[in-house]
Amino acid sequence: MTAPRTTTTARPNGQWAVDGKTPLNGNEAMKAADNGLNVRERIENVYAAQGFDSIADDDLHGRFRWWGLYTQRKPGIDGGRTATLEPHELEDRYFMLRVRVDGGALTTEQLRTIGAISTEFARDTADITDRHNIQLHWIGVEDVPEIWRRLEAVGLSTTEACGDVPRVILGSPVAGIAADEIIDPSWAIGEIVKRYIGDPELANLPRKFKTAITGHPSQDVVHEINDVGFVGLVHPELGVGFDLWVGGGLSVSPRLGERLGAFVSEERVPDVWLAVTSLFRDYGFRRLRTKARMKFLLAEWGAAKLRQVLQDEYLGYALPDGPPAPQPTRSGDQVGVHEQKDGRFYIGAAPYVGRVSGTILTAVADLAEGAGSHRIRLTPHQKLLVLDVPAEQVDAVVTGLRANNLEAEPSIFRRSTIACTGIEFCKLAIVETKATATRTIGSLEERLGDLGALTPISLNINGCPNSCARIQTADIGLKGQLVMDDDGAQVPGYQVHLGGGLASADREEAGLGRTVRGLKVTADGVPEYVERVVRRYVADRVETPAGPETFAVWAHRADEEALQ
């Protein structure tokens, strides 16, 4: 007699709408036990008074993130130990504090407040990130309540700047002022922040959830690599609105977002955003954190099913079909001097890979106000803009920014290089990034100075595989790891990605870079490698009706030997 056949079922993915809300891992159990937003009361009333040693582990390594706080890396721990040490062995007794700047929009009063907090509480540290945030370091838990008080007094916060929550909303840094703008998304961004950021119902997502909204034809918010994106366009029948994207993300499993083919009118943006976020909350995969981003749900369902569920279960109506937005018209980094639609000017300036200081931020606030401006913007490319500059003040502001290490007329490599935090502060990093990038920029300015007609080539440098610096979407992307030098010693270095990029004036569609087996470079060898591959590109590129082929096109067609 044969045994009865047993029916096997696939393991649950931890989707609330399918599998129920029973936690399937420690992180989900932590969130189920207490909403991350609730830790603020303990920080203010217990931890700030009793100090670092009083912090409960679930709060320190979990819920603190809901208020923009991560422990930073303890100095002196080399990258070879990143993967072998426990979190408590890697972490210092100080925090990185992330100030969220939705839409990248700051007043000079807000910028000055951040600058003062930096100089008083953060050892004068400050980094402009590639997600509109400003990050401070060396923060003690004892000082956090006072920092919050000062930030909130000027309309800023750290609420949900980290954690499994809706992160800062990327918005066009020239919203409302650019002469060539299609639609100003500021209202929609403001409504989403006002209605939903800090809402406990959206404070337990499967993982982080990233949003990008732009109405500028340069498509300046890297929407293709966000969980949800709204891109401005003119519908031939319905007028001005947004094209809806979902499911983008990089890290170790990169995937570009996809259009849902749906048109969203301006007044519907907050509701559609809520619907997409709620769908992710209910259907996103929670069993494995490595599969818990929107991109994995999109990969399983496909765009058509995701749109149908969105409409049927969350919106209650069908979105009209819509065309794609046109190809971008110009660079989206907004560097340089540009006329606004009111006749004044905005000035976009590049620090070295986002690294500034409290002293610099305060000086920029003073400089802007001296020129009659009270508005600053941050970009997703680690740049800073001063808005509303009268024509007669432009030269003075450009000169004043330069005196503060912010360059409105940068070299192509200073303009197009970004870097993540790296081993200096990040517990996940394997190699250093900021100083390496700065040295590389200076070296390339000398090495390639004879190539005067060279168009910008993006160089993105990341300290680990997680791609905070978007290595897969750069012309040259460097992923931090330990490599062997010529003497066989293990040293800091990078795996090389080539030919990636997002949609731009010279690239119709986004695409990921290619990797060549075994192509790695030591940290000290980065300038030499970049010079070598750029000179090979210049020698080999072909002319097209639109001009010389881009580095990305060349990198994808070149033989592996040419890329070494």
pLDDT in tens, 11-48: 899 999 999 999 999 999 999 999 999 999 999 999 99
Provide the β-strand partners of residue 348: 336, 385
pLDDT at position 417: 98
Helix (H) or strand (E) segment spanning residue 273: helix 269-283
Share of the chain above pLDDT 90, in %: 94
At residue 443 the predicted structure's pLDDT band, cuts being 50, 70 and 90, is very high
Q: How confident is the model at residue 94 (pLDDT cuts 50, 70, 90)?
A: very high
Q: What is the pTM of this model?
A: 0.96
Which tens digits make up the pLDDT trace of 448-464? 988 877 889 999 999 99
Q: Which of 8-17, 115-124, 484-493 has the lowest average pLDDT?
A: 8-17
Q: What is the pLDDT of residue 546?
A: 80
Share of the chain above pLDDT 70, in %: 98
Instruction: Tell me the mean pLDDT in the region 45-74.
Output: 98
Count CA atoms closer than 13 A to 290's CA, side-chain side: 3
Query: What's the rounded mean pLDDT across residues 136-159?
Result: 98
Quick one: average pLDDT of 90-95? Answer: 97
CA dist., res. 196 & res. 296, Å (int): 24
Specify the pLDDT at position 8. Answer: 42
Yes or no: domain 415-563 corresponds to CATH 3.20.20.140: no
Bridge partners, residue 230, by sequence: 213, 244
Per-residue confidence (pLDDT) for residue 308, from 0 to 100:
98
Q: Are 124 and 137 in contact (CB under 8 A)?
A: no
Sign of the alpha-carbon torsion through 545, 548, 551, 554: positive
Structure tokens at 543: 């002319």
54-80 mean pLDDT: 97
What value does the mean pLDDT of the chain take? 96
Amino acid at 447: R
Q: Computed from CA positions of residues 286, 292, 293, 299, in that sequence, does the dihedral angle turn out positive or negative?
A: negative
pLDDT digits (tens, 9 = 90+) for 342-392: 999 999 999 999 999 999 999 999 999 999 999 999 999 999 999 999 999
pLDDT at position 2: 43
As a whole number, mean pLDDT of residues 266-282 equals: 98
113 phi-psi bin (left φ>0, alpha ψ -120 to 50, beta other): alpha
Q: How far apart are CA 513 and CA 476, in angstroms?
A: 8
- How far is 38 from 47, CA to CA, in rounded Å? 13
Q: How far apart are CA 430 and CA 425, in angstroms?
A: 11
Contact 533, 357 (CB under 8 A): no
Euclidean distance between CA atoms 319 and 377, whole angstroms: 32
* Structure tokens, 436: 């390496």
Three-state DSSP class for 356?
strand
User: Taking a C-beta distance cutoff of 8 angstroms, is the pair 121, 139 a contact?
Assistant: yes
- Rounded Cα gap, residues 172 and 230, in angstroms: 11
pLDDT digits (tens, 9 = 90+) for 207-216: 999 999 999 9
The whole-angstrom separation of Cα 154 and Cα 374 is 13
CA dihedral of residues 545, 546, 547, 552 (deg, nearest 10): -120
User: Can you tell me the distance from the alpha carbon of 369 to that of 353, in angstroms, rounded to the nearest whole number?
Assistant: 25
Give residue 87's pLDDT band: very low, low, confident or very high (50, 70, 90). confident
The overall longest dimension of the chain from CA atoms, in Å, is 96
Question: Once rounded to an integer, what is the mean pLDDT over residues 240-258?
Answer: 96
Kindly indicate the confidence band of residue 9, based on its pLDDT and cuts at 50, 70 and 90: low
Q: What is the pLDDT of residue 69?
A: 98
In single-letter form, the type of residue at position 60 comes to L
Domain boundaries, the chain: 415-563
**52 pLDDT band (50/70/90 cuts)?**
very high
pLDDT at 210: 98
Is the distance from CB of 48 to CB of 142 less than 8 angstroms?
yes
